[in-house]
Structure 1
Amino acid sequence: MDEGSLLGDCLKQLDWSPDKLAREINRVRPNSISPKAPYGWLKGSTPRGDLPQIVASVLSHHLKETITVAALWPAKATLVGSDGWLRQPWSQEGTWAGLGSFTAGPLRSGLGVLRPLSGQGLIGAAVEWLTTEDEPVIGRPSGETISLQVIDVLVDRVAQLRRIDDVQGGPLVLDWITQDLNWAAHLARNGSYDPAIGQCLHSVLAELAQLAGWLACDLGRNALGQRYLLFGLRAAHTANNRALGANIVSCLSYQAAWGDTHDEALRLIKIARQGIGGTPGGAVHALLATRQARAHAQLGQLDDCARAIDEAAAALAESAADDTTPAWAYWVTPAVLAADAGRAWLELGRPEVAERHLLHGLHLFGDEQPRNRLLHTMSLAKARLRQRDLDGAADATHQALDLRSYLESGRARQRMTGLRDEFKQSDSPLAHDVTEQISAVLAA
């Protein structure tokens, strides 16, 4: 063993032979290397494809510290990165390649220096999801048995994390979710389960990745969020969970819209609606339709937007009799659709129509979904400003500032900054006071 190499030092710390390293790599991606391959790496050769990242992830996971590709193979680091798994086939094995990146620190810590993926790259992934046929899930015969009770605990845990995100969000919850994602990924690559349990386990992985991706994007960590969402899309495909996959593509669409790439956002949400199929009814179809309405609004397509708003309302009206609505869609309510319609009308330049929908949505929210209430109350303030109702806009802004604890959301801070800029356009003392209050909250 080459004692002078970092790889050799890592194996020495773990008390691993090269054969043991090969076995651990094959847990992440079954049958990917021979037991003797690491011996060659210790003599100076380098692994091919995305294997360097998988090796780095395996070592990081077991050493409890970050080991990077650049540190292991400096010459190789410029040729491979954390995104090798994105080029894998849309198969269970391809999803497993992603598991190697998400069960340790290197991918997550390294994303801060990576750029967000291009819109065409996201569309390409969504098209592959749409067009790749589903395959049966393959179980794992070796390892500690994963029982149905374990799956039930994981499902309950995801539901709890979603509820926590409703009332708190922020970096703390993102860290919590990613820790659970790492644990579920560990079970998937090390546990023993039959195909039915494997399907449930991959659905849990997809939900956790979707939630992590959504929170990361909400915090402004777009590169991180995109990759979590794309991993979730692969896991949903492996689980044959088309509704969850469509939701994840719709999240990519929403994230594209936040970045002002509206054509790409519309293309993505259309792919999501095409991918879910089935009779257009229920909460999931309502969610996709309302997100398509927002995409049309941002492009100034009034008739298409109004049509999608009507489709969303009609779909949700059918959900009461639809007992197949997934648990993760609990938050898609008449309040959400009404407020989102208000935001769409605001983007279309119809503030008077927007105000009616926003007020209705905020009334329906009651005390629920405080981050959504913060966002939509700021939209209400903008709608009133654009109708020259300065007093009403100030009142709505004060209501939004009462929810300032939810400003850890990148979207919320961006919207609050935009609201302040609109108040600055007025030279009235009231507008000046509101501007100073917003600035103080943003600074804090």
Structure 2
Amino acid sequence: MVTAGASKFGRIIWDRRRELRWSRPQLARELNTRAGLTTCDGALIYKWETGRHAPKAWLPHLLHVLGLPAGTAALLCPPATATGPSHACENDPLLGLPEAVWDRLQADTLLNMLDASGPVEPDTVRQLAHAWLISEPPQILHQRAGSRVSDSLITEVRIRTNALRRMDDYLGGLDLIAQVTRELRATVNVLREASYTEETGRQLLELAAEQAQLAGWVAADAGLNQQAKRAYTVGVHAAEAAGHRGLGGLNLGGLGYLLAATGDPEHGVVLTRSAAVGAAPYASARERAMIWDRAAWAACLAGREHEAAAALGRVEDAHDAHQPDAREEPDWLYWVCRAESLVMQGQVWTELHRPLRAVPILQAVISGYDHEHARETALYRSWLAAALLDAGEVEEAAAETTRVIDLSTGVTSDRVAKRITLLTEQLTPHTHVPAAREVLDRVREQR
């Protein structure tokens, strides 16, 4: 969609170029000289002038070369009028995936995404999903300024990222969010400040995408949903710049999962299915399993039982296709296995009020689960409690809720806290059952 702002800005470029008596190729040469690049051409100038594309990373160079005042850039995103509807700005950094060249300005954009205020609108991320599906990864420039990135630094960042991921197995989101966000910012700052080869740049961008996915997950666990959405969006951009579709799908799927879980399942369905379809040709079997798990969850929250069941079938197919020795897989897949996908099956059938399917699955998985992972065990048992209550087994549901409360002691997880609140609400109509009444009294005392 071409906005009025983009069209006006394009006309200004055209008028100014004519005043200077420059052809489009000549303007492109001036911009390449100014930016130290070779990637701008007359076709790109044409797209700017006709409003098909916004200049994005080229904008400061364009303003300088044409001698335009900085305020001209505001025309790309005019303020909404009192009588007209507001439209998403084409130059919104949340929307525009990397252009033909990844450079220092685009690293600035990643930091701007993390720092921006205001909510992340569902329509914005829906447009992001569409852009991600049709885009091509950019070329990464060798950064000429700053200290050189060494192989040892890449290794050190990867080790720290892997360690943080495993810390998430034992700590709640509030305990971990500051450290994970700090690590993500440090990686983006290296992309912004240092000198590196194209291959090193791709590795840094992949690490930033991994860290962004972890930051999104941890922020959501801490109840910081807007921060989580921004982190996932950064992850989509960084993965796209690295040319890593699996990581892009992981972040986009996480974003859809979050939208579905926070009251917007329809947009969640769009994003998770886009992630699954877009990543499928490039992702490993376990990557596909994880992304389709999220699609199943979004579909069930939207009340689409057949879609949820179909997605669960795709998960099974992906696990069947996994060959452990086929190729080396990234560390962030270490936790993906059939047992975790079975938990998702149990959650889906619980949410769809199919307790006869959900209870046996959840009981089997929980019986073999490492209870040192208190948060995950508490969450899984909370779904079992809900399924048991749905089946009319109030005493067993109360016993499971008690276990959830015991496990949650000292765990700073907003997810777990919300599950306990929901379970107590569901147990409230059953105060005539002593076990349920005991749980409710305990929760009241702890408050």
* TM-score interval, normalised by the smaller of the two chains: 0.7 to 0.9
Residue 254 in structure 1 maps to residue 254 in structure 2: no
How many Å apart are 1:305 and its aligned residue?
A: 2.2
Map of 1:53-132 to 2, 5 A cutoff? Answer: 84-91=92-99, 96-97=104-105, 99-100=107-108, 103=111, 108=115, 111=117, 114-115=118-119, 117-132=120-135
2:240 is equivalent to residue 232 of structure 1: no
In the TM superposition, what are the counterparts of 1:131-142 in structure 2 within 5 Å? Answer: 131-142=134-145
2:160 is paired with a residue whose SS is: helix
| TM-score (normalised: structure 1) | 0.77
Deviation (angstroms), 1:321:
4.2
Is 1:311 the equivalent of 2:319? no
* 1:283 alignment partner in structure 2: 286
Q: Which residue in 1 is equivalent to 2:397?
A: 393
Percent identity reads 25
Quote how far apart the aligned CAs of 1:171 are: 2.4
1:52-82 deviation line (CA, Å, top 9, x unaligned): xxxxxxxxxxxxxxxxxxxxxxxxxxxx99x
1:346 and 1:216 map into 2 onto residues whose CA distance is 25
Aligned to 2:189: 186
Query: Structure 2 CA distance, aligned partners of 1:88 and 1:267?
Result: 18
**Number of the residue aligned with 2:214:** 211
Instruction: Return the letter of the residue paired with 1:208.
Output: Q
Which residue matches 1:349? 353
Distance of 2:365 and 2:338 partners within structure 1: 7
1:323 aligns with 2:331: no
Tell me if the contact between 2:114 and 2:234 (Cα under 8 Å) persists in the aligned partners: no
Which runs of 5 or more residues in structure 1 are unaligned? 1-25, 51-79
1:277 and 1:334, CA in 2 relative to 1: closer, same or farther beyond 3 A?
closer
List alignment gaps of at least 5 residues for structure 2: 1-34, 37-55, 75-87
**Contact persistence 2:101–2:141 (CA under 8 A):** no
Instruction: Name the CA shift for 1:248/1:368 in 2 (closer, same or farther; >3 Å).
Output: farther
Asked if structure 2 preserves the Cα contact closer than 8 Å seen for 1:85 and 1:98, the reply is no
TM-score by length of 2: 0.76
Shift of 1:405: 3.6
Write the letter of the residue equivalent to 2:427: F
Judged with a 3 Å threshold, the aligned counterparts in structure 2 of structure 1 residues 438 and 134 are, in CA distance, closer, same or farther, namely same
- Equivalent position of 1:54 in the other structure: none
| Compared CA separation, residues 30 and 263, structure 1 to 2 (3 A) | closer
Shift of 1:411: 1.9
Q: Which amino acid aligns with 1:410?
A: D
Matches within 5 A, 1:361-372: 361-367=365-371, 369-372=373-376
The code of the aligned residue for 2:402 comes to H
Q: Is 1:165 aligned to 2:168, yes or no?
A: yes
Q: Report how far residue 97 of structure 1 moved.
A: 4.4
Q: Distance in 2 between matches of 1:378 and 1:170?
A: 18
Which of 331, 334, 337 aligns to 1:333? It is 337
What pairs up with 1:3-14 in 2 under 5 angstroms? none
Shift of 1:310: 2.5
2:425 equivalent in structure 1: 421
Aligned length: 378
Distance 2:122 2:326 in 1: 34
- C-alpha separation between the residues in 2 aligned to 1:385 and 1:250? 30
Q: Is 1:268 equivalent to 2:271 in the alignment?
A: yes
What pairs with 1:375-386 in structure 2 (closer than 5 Å)?
A: 375-386=379-390
Flag the 1:139–1:397 CA change in 2: closer, same or farther, 3 A. Answer: same
Counterpart residue number, 1:8: none
Distance 1:295 1:107 in 2: 25
Instruction: Tell me the CA shift for residue 272 of structure 1.
Output: 0.4
Which residue pairs with 2:19 in the alignment?
A: none
Check the 8 A contact 1:346/1:383 in 2, yes or no: yes
* 8 Å CA contact retained: 2:343, 2:380: yes
Give the deviation of 1:48 after TM superposition.
6.1
